[in-house]
Amino acid sequence: MKTLTLKLKAPLQAYGNEATFGRRTSNPYPTKSAVIGMIAAALGYDRRNSKIIDLNKLSFATRVDQPGKIMSDFQIVEYAKNANKKAKKLTYRDYLQDAIFMVAIGSENSDLINEIHYALRHPKFPLFLGRRSCPPAGPLEIEVFDNQNPLMVLQTMGWQAAEWYQKKHSNFKAEIVYDASLGSNDNFKFQLRDEVGSFDQRNRYHNYREVVSTYIPMKNETKWHAETVHDIMANI
């Protein structure tokens, strides 16, 4: 299997889970549907392109390297109650602030991964991290791995959190959420509703998929941490 990783970072990210007219919350990590949407945009697919459904076949895993904090915004929405009178309502949107995630997609079809890699480097449509108001913080950082599945890659990849965050969290454990078909199911298993059914705005819906959650310790490899450990050891 060939695997491609994406480092997702931005001032704000948002990955919808439950949405009502009054409030839209965010999943604490990237959803598969959000990443598929970004890939579809890069490939130039419109919302009703049937090829989007085929992207559900990609193996998927995500790792929370820097959880970020919830930030809530509000908007006053004006809508028509009837032909003669309009109403206004206060609505809320939740975002993940200063978060960093590692996402991995995999396929036995190497040509497909290569096509996605090229498209993410040369996207046909603008890319965003969950919502249009959340563009990536610069060009996407992408790596490709041969003969490894997404879970294997994220289990061995170094910690990608910002240096300031690593300084504050020396004993950090990163959550990995991955397709149940990728590895051991001894960990917590649950259903996540983030498989694309349709992106068509007239009939948008998602299906459930089975995922597994686990935590792995991350090694702090920042210069600050290495020098601090050296100084401590020298004074013992």
Instruction: With cut-offs at 50, 70 and 90, classify the pLDDT of residue 39.
Output: very high
Give dist(CA 191, CA 196) in Å, integer: 14
Angle between helices 110-121 and 32-43 (to 10 degrees): 70
Count of Cβ atoms closer than 10 Å to residue 62 Cβ: 27
| Of residues 215, 227, 214, 216, the one with CA closest to residue 163 | 227
Q: 41 vs 111, 116, 155, CA distance in Å?
A: 18, 11, 28
Question: 196: Cβ–Cβ under 8 A, 6 or more apart, which residues?
Answer: 32, 33, 36, 37, 52, 53, 55, 56, 206, 207
pLDDT tens-digit readout, 165-185: 999 998 999 999 999 999 866
Per-residue confidence (pLDDT) for residue 14, from 0 to 100:
95
pLDDT tens-digit readout, 48-61: 999 999 999 999 99
What is the bridge-based pairing of β-strands 188-198 and 205-217?
A: antiparallel
Count of Cβ atoms closer than 10 Å to residue 153 Cβ: 21
Per-residue confidence (pLDDT) for residue 20, from 0 to 100:
66
DSSP 180: G
- Token pair 């993940």 is found at 96
Region 110-135 average pLDDT: 96
Q: Please provide the average confidence, as pLDDT, over all residues in the chain.
A: 89
